[in-house]
Structure 1
Amino acid sequence: MALALSVLEKLQHQPNSTLSTICFIIITILCVLIKFTRSNKKINNLPPSPPKLPLIGNLHQLGTLPHQSLKALSDKYDPLLLLQLGQTQALVVSSADIVEEIVKTHDVAFSNRANTKAAKIFFYQCKEIGFAPYGEEWRKKRKLCVNELLNTNRVKSFQPIRKNEVSMMINSLHEACAKGSSFETSDDGRKSIAEVVRKIQFSKLGVGDLFPSLDWVDVLTGFMSRIKIIYAELDAFLEEVIEEHKRKKKNCDDNNKDFVDVLLQLQERDMPEFELTKDIMKALLLV
């Protein structure tokens, strides 16, 4: 490093020429790379990482089916991998034993999930419990779901509804297969939530998720527009579901209540823990 700096000083005092300029640029780049390499070596106990390319890191090793690519990398290197995806790092865990240790011993350290652009939009700025940041409000929402929505008695009470919905779905699939058509719409002609969910599942990461400094690219490519269109469809569906339950609330007995009915009741109760707004209700329904 000291030798490179002395060469730089000598070049700076020489008359301007193309050769000296090129040498100056090359040595500057080398100095930066040496400093970067040395700083990385100071970080100890990092998981193994496959060979990386400049700028993109390990992105070139993820194919069209990322889960299969990650499985192949884990088999080749280690069940605990550190990948460089653009300007972000990702820890890949492919061992059940390591996952168990993480959720039992280091659960707080690994409790937060990466808030991608799509997650922020689809989950109402991450107001549910899947992508919400770990904290007091997250614990209150989880407690609400466990005590009010997913307790044993409540789950048992939903059995007739689940049975009826599964039966309707099987009948619809049977009719669709007999007609040679696809299962896209519900019986009343409304757009099926399955179609919207499928669009959400196949929503890719934006450039800004991998390269925060290039966040503006997602606007130019139309990525943000496509995400917002899908969100509008999802929000309209959830809005319709909630309003439909409000209209039928008077004729709904305790044996026929579902998650939406329970959330509407809790909203009327004016809970002291947190404000159960309509957006938070929609976000919790997505869980």
Structure 2
Amino acid sequence: MYKLPPSPPKLPFIGNLHQVGSLTLHSLRALSMKHGPLMLLHIGQIRTFVVSSAEMAQEILKKQDDIFASRPSVKADNILGYGALNVSFSPYGEYWKRAKKLYIAHLLGPAKVRSFKQAREDQVRFVLEKIRQAQKMSKSVDLTELFNLFAIGILGRLLSKNFSEKHLMLELTNQGAALYFEFNFEDYFPPLRFLDTFLQYESKLTSISKRCNDLFEKMISDCQNGAQDDKKAVVEISGREGGGNERTEMKIEVMANAIDGALEGDEEEEEMEELASQVVDEIGIDIICELVKAPTAAVN
């Protein structure tokens, strides 16, 4: 019989939930200082292991990686992520290995990354122009929104040169992300999952999922009907090799992963240095420093 790690005293039903405040990392650090680098918390009715030392992290992430590789299932991803079947959230196993193989072969290969260069450069120009306009009008710059638009713009360009739903996709992304972090009963108190329906949490997820679905259907259809061969290849990955429901597989493996592929391409060191240099030359180092210090401050 296995011995569980030490655990702080818990309350009936809610477990240690009352000991985790709004500053989660601060709360966990304080608890780990008292109970050790490996401890067991009961977050509601969900057992959670907290690791807070490099040695323990290495043991888990390297030596026992196959056991801890899968992310926990959460209600939001089961609805918004097609049952958590994308590369980022699907459980470790044969499906994940196959999806990752397709992802790397068709989206992250050197030739494919090079083919995304024009899309990335166009989106950099978009970001620069937005900052220039804000500078002229002495308006604030929301860098989070700007870089989200940058990423979404790349995704859209992978599928359509005339992608025009950037702001709609950003709206859906922000709403979905907010629901990921919103409290719900199923993730912490599974027997009380019916309350999510009563409190309309589930209906909000379903509504966003439907709107995303409609947008993805339109993007995939536009791409198949009028795209160049390289863009068609992006949406045909699952159709050739995915099996099962072809249309659903396209949305799972392409739409959920293409944005990751676009962003991975941006991480090439040489290109990033070139883009950084361009930003500094165009905008000015003083403005950039001001944005870093106060991202929502007015740009003068």
Structure 1 position 63, deviation (Å): 2.3
Q: Which residue of 1 aligns with 2:118?
A: 160
Q: Could you tell me how far 1:72 is from its partner in structure 2?
A: 4.0
Separation in 2, partners of 1:262, 1:76: 54
Measured after TM superposition, the shift of residue 66 of structure 1 is 3.0
Taking the TM superposition and a 5 Å limit, the aligned residue runs for 1:271-286 are 271=241, 274-275=243-244, 277-284=246-253, 285-286=255-256
Runs of 4+ in 1 over 6 A off after TM superposition: 184-187
- Whichever structure has more helix as a proportion of its residues is 2
Query: Would the aligned equivalents of 2:46 and 2:188 in 1 still touch at CA under 8 Å?
Result: yes
Classify 1:57/1:96 alpha carbon distance in 2 versus 1 (closer, same or farther; 3 Å): same
Distance 1:216 1:265, change over 3 A: closer
- Counterpart secondary structure, 2:126: helix
Cα shift at 1:144: 0.9
Between stretches 176-185 and 188-197, larger displacement belongs to 176-185
Select between 214-223 and 183-192 the one with higher mean Cα deviation: 183-192
Structure of greater relative contact order (alpha carbons < 8 Å, 6+ residues apart): 2
Match of 1:31 in 2: none
Determine helix, strand or coil for the equivalent of 2:66.
coil
Instruction: Report the equivalent of 1:114.
Output: 72
TM-aligned CA distance change 1:279 to 1:68, over 3 Å: farther
Q: Which moved more, 1:175-184 or 1:108-117?
A: 175-184
Preserved contact between residue 45 and residue 188 of structure 2 (Cα < 8 Å): yes
Q: Structure 1's 165 and 214: CA in aligned 2 closer, same or farther, altered over 3 A?
A: same
Give the TM-score taking structure 1 as reference length. Answer: 0.70
What TM-score, normalized to structure 2?
0.67
Rounded to whole Å, the distance in 1 between the matches of 2:223 and 2:61 is: 37
User: Quick one: which of 29, 37, 49 aligns to 1:79?
Assistant: 37
Larger-Rg structure: 1
Could you tell me how far apart the structure 1 residues matched to 2:11 and 2:183 are? 20
Q: Please report how far the alpha carbon of residue 85 of structure 1 lies from its aligned counterpart in structure 2 after TM superposition.
A: 0.9
Q: Give me the CA root mean square deviation.
A: 3.0
Deviation at 1:229, TM superposition (A): 1.9
Per-residue deviation, 1:141: 0.9
Report the 3-state secondary structure (helix = DSSP H, G, I; strand = E; otherwise coil) of the residue aligned with 2:67: coil
State the shift of 1:56 in Å.
Answer: 0.5
Partners in 2 of 1:70 and 1:123 — Cα distance?
29
Query: Does 2:233 match 1:262?
Result: yes
Number of residue pairs aligned between Structure 1 and Structure 2: 236
Identity %: 32
Question: Could you say which residue in structure 2 is the equivalent of 1:24?
Answer: none
Aligned to 1:248: 226
Cα gap change, 1:238 to 1:96, in 2 (>3 Å)? farther
Partner residue, 2:171: 195
What SS is found at the alignment partner of 1:224?
helix
Of the three residues 70, 93, 108, the one matched with 2:28 is 70
